[in-house]
């Protein structure tokens, strides 16, 4: 056996079946999927792949080259819609993936091609029911899309509502092409349990949505509503009458409770009525008015002779008698 042959046999034994002519086996079952407008590439591990194998996935549209998606990942799928916001709700896409182990890589494996709006799987709508007498109010909520919304992606989206009496699904009634997300089911039997299921239909996506889960609700009686109102009215009136009677009977107690009469303690009254015994007060009451001090002052008239020229001028000012005037000084 030649040396080259021995080396080849030795490498084949050490590396196992994952190496063929220096290349890894390619990933298997590669396919591109879409659920509620996401874009996910899925694949299977290569035959006999080691646990340390990693993968790189890319995608492209019909008008662009391949773009990087997930690089050196260990799990077996890649969600392109979470990595890139340039994905269009009306785009046509394909993907590819390859395996890597150290410095070695497998060949690229191409996926199928899908139209996002036509091939996506539309999820189930959410349905809630509300009973009102002999009618049931059906409220529908659209599924959440990864790209855009149901109403933006599909200009015409309608609901197919199917309802039946519990246990009689084979006799179900269907309402088609309903565009409102709130519908009232009328003319139902009283005190009967009905079940409802809803699907979404669009023009471009002919597969339609997944059906919603089955939701059930029981109708009631229209005649029961006035009785309930009458009972409530009676209870309210009875409580009002009881309150009036209690107020009249115990009005004094209630009045004292809300408006109590304040009374001073007896020792407070005695203290306030007792005469004051303060020393300053007693001194003020017993003191006499202060004595007035004064001096007697005499005013004497001037009897000196007056010249003739001045006699007439001083005549009115001369004094002919002496007066005693007392001036009091305090």
Residues 290-311: what's their mean pLDDT?
Answer: 62
Instruction: Give 206's pLDDT tier (boundaries 50, 70, 90).
Output: confident
Residue 48 has a pLDDT of: 85
Is residue 318 scored above 60 in pLDDT?
no
- The residue whose two tokens read 């009973």 is 131
DSSP letter for each residue of 85-114: TT--TT-EEEEEEEEEETTEE---EEEEEE
Beta strands in the chain (DSSP E): 19-20, 23-24, 28-33, 40-44, 54-61, 67-73, 77-79, 92-101, 104-105, 109-115, 126-132, 135-141, 157-165, 173-178, 182-185, 193-202, 215-218, 295-299, 323-327
**Could you read off the pLDDT of 214-228 as tens digits, one per residue?**
999 999 876 545 556
Is residue 4 scored above 60 in pLDDT?
no
* C-alpha closest to that of 80 among 66, 56, 59, 98: 59
Q: Tell me the β-bridge partners of 298.
A: 324
Greater confidence (305 vs 61) lies with 61
> CA 171, 173, 176, 178 torsion: positive or negative?
negative
Is residue 319 scored above 50 in pLDDT?
no
Specify the pTM.
0.61
Is residue 1 scored above 60 in pLDDT?
no
CB atoms within 10 A of CB 180: 10
Q: 98, 109 in Cβ contact below 8 A?
A: yes
Residue 262 has a pLDDT of: 61
């Amino acid at each position: 056996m030649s040396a080259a042959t021995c080396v080849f046999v030795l490498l084949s034994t050490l590396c196992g079946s994952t190496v063929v002519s220096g290349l890894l086996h390619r990933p298997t079952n590669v396919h591109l999927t879409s659920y509620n407008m996401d874009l996910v590439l899925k694949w299977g591990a290569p035959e006999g792949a080691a646990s340390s194998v990693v993968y790189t996935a890319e995608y492209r549209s019909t008008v662009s080259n391949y773009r990087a998606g997930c690089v050196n990942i260990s799990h077996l799928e890649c969600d392109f819609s979470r990595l890139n916001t340039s994905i269009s709700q009306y785009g046509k896409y394909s993907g590819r993936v390859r395996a890597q182990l150290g410095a070695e890589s497998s060949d690229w494996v191409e996926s199928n091609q899908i139209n996002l709006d036509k091939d996506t799987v539309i999820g189930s709508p959410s349905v809630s029911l509300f009973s009102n007498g002999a009618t049931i109010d059906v409220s529908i909520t659209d599924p959440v899309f990864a790209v855009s919304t149901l109403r933006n992606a599909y200009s015409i989206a309608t609901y197919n509502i199917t309802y039946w009496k519990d246990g009689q699904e084979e006799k179900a009634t269907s309402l088609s092409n309903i565009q409102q997300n709130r519908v009232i089911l009328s003319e139902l039997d009283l005190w009967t349990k009905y079940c409802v299921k809803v699907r979404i239909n669009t023009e471009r996506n002919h597969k339609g949505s997944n059906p919603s889960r089955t939701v059930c609700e029981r109708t009631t009686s229209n005649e029961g509503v006035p009785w309930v109102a009458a009972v409530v009215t009676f209870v309210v009136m009875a409580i009002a009458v009881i309150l009036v009677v209690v107020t009249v009977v115990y009005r004094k107690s209630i009045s004292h409770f809300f408006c109590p009469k304040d009374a001073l303690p007896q020792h407070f009254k005695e203290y306030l009525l007792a005469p004051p015994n303060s020393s300053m007060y007693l001194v003020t009451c017993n003191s006499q008015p202060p004595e007035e001090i004064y001096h007697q002052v005499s005013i004497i008239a001037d009897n000196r002779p007056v010249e003739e020229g001045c006699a007439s001028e001083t005549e009115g000012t001369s004094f002919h008698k002496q007066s005693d005037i007392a001036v009091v000084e305090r």
